[in-house]
Amino acid sequence: MQALRWHGVKDLRLENIEQPAALAGKVKIKVEWCGICGSDLHEYVAGPIFIPQDAQHPLTGEKAPIVMGHEFSGQVVEIGEGVTKIQVGDRVVVEPVFACGECDACKQGKYNLCDKMGFLGLAGGGGGFSEYVAADEHMVHKIPESVSFEQGALVEPSAVALYAVRQSQLKVGDKAVVFGAGPIGLLVIEALKASGASEIYAVELSEERKAKAEELGAIVLDPKTYDVVQELHKRTNGGVDVAYEVTGVPPVLTQAIESTKISGQIMIVSIFEKEAPIKPNNIVMKERNLTGIIGYRDVFPAVISLMEKGYFPADKLVTKRIKLEEVIEQGFEGLLKEKNQVKILVSPQS
């Protein structure tokens, strides 16, 4: 089968590899759609970040070259021995988290904080930028007929957004700002709507992404037009309750901190490629709370339920659909060149 594999920085290759087998406890899935994640793009231009390059990953036993893609949906075509909850023909998505089950975090149920944590499509185990994937049964979630395969490819990034809001101190009626209206930022806006935020601001430069944020109901502030910190304090009478940093750009983190009210919270959702200096007194003198999340845990069923109710809509978030053979030039390079793109979905099916 055809698959996209990461060999090194700016070195992605479409290659023919063997199809995965539905071994005991595994489910073989025919991939319908797979999204290009910001993490995938980071690996392409600045990796390895999560991809094991010099040594094998402790849970998958794999290292580069690695099949990429962890935001995908598909249909089950085969089940392995011992699989009972999933059947051939089921429409599914995969929660692509590998965890050891033995460390302190895993024993506390916080499997996304596992000492050896990895992601399918980044740490090995196959990936969604291929025709087929074989995943452990416990990683597979059914989606109803009312949730399309395109929508299903958004479950994983939507889980990041919903988990970020759940882990924050946001309460119904609170005011929030999202710095960065890329794919995850837009999904955070949706999660804030579902969580009852009364005012949702979005700070963004891209015209396309500003339009998408407005379409989803956010109040958009362009940093070319406003001193966003001053404007947010003015509009919210003292600062927002929670600021979500979703850019990974160091100066933006400072803005996020300073945009919150006394005892407000800053939730870091993005992955930073380099250090981000901050002024501790900006936190100390206002008793602000600075925290962050990695991935998600225990939220896939909630995301799927919200999608059934119309949240996280693919028709408003997906801006481009391409074939697997176009994934490098039209996908990864396209995201670098076309700053107006939001979410690109890739299909390995003809």
- Per-residue confidence (pLDDT) for residue 338, from 0 to 100: 81
User: What is the pTM for the complete model shown?
Assistant: 0.95
Rounded CA-CA distance 348/149 in Å is 13
The helix/strand/coil state of 337 is helix
Classify residue 335 by its DSSP letter.
H
Architecture of the domain delimited by 2-154+312-347? Alpha-Beta Complex (3.90)
Q: Which amino acid is at 86?
A: I
DSSP assignment of 122-189 equals TSSS--SSBSEEEEEGGGEEE--TTS-HHHHTTHHHHHHHHHHHHHS---TT-EEEEE--SHHHHHHH
Q: Is 265 exposed, middle or buried (0-12, 13-18, 19+ CB in 10 A)?
A: buried
Instruction: Say if CB 178 and CB 202 are below 8 A apart.
Output: yes
Beta bridge partners of 3: 15, 130
- Per-residue confidence (pLDDT) for residue 342, from 0 to 100: 85
Architecture of the domain delimited by 158-292? 3-Layer(aba) Sandwich (3.40)
- Per-residue confidence (pLDDT) for residue 337, from 0 to 100: 87
The helix/strand/coil state of 339 is coil
Instruction: Say if CB 247 and CB 180 are below 8 A apart.
Output: yes
Boundaries of every domain in the chain: 2-154+312-347, 158-292
159, two tokens:
């889980």
Within the chain, which residues score under 70 in pLDDT?
A: none
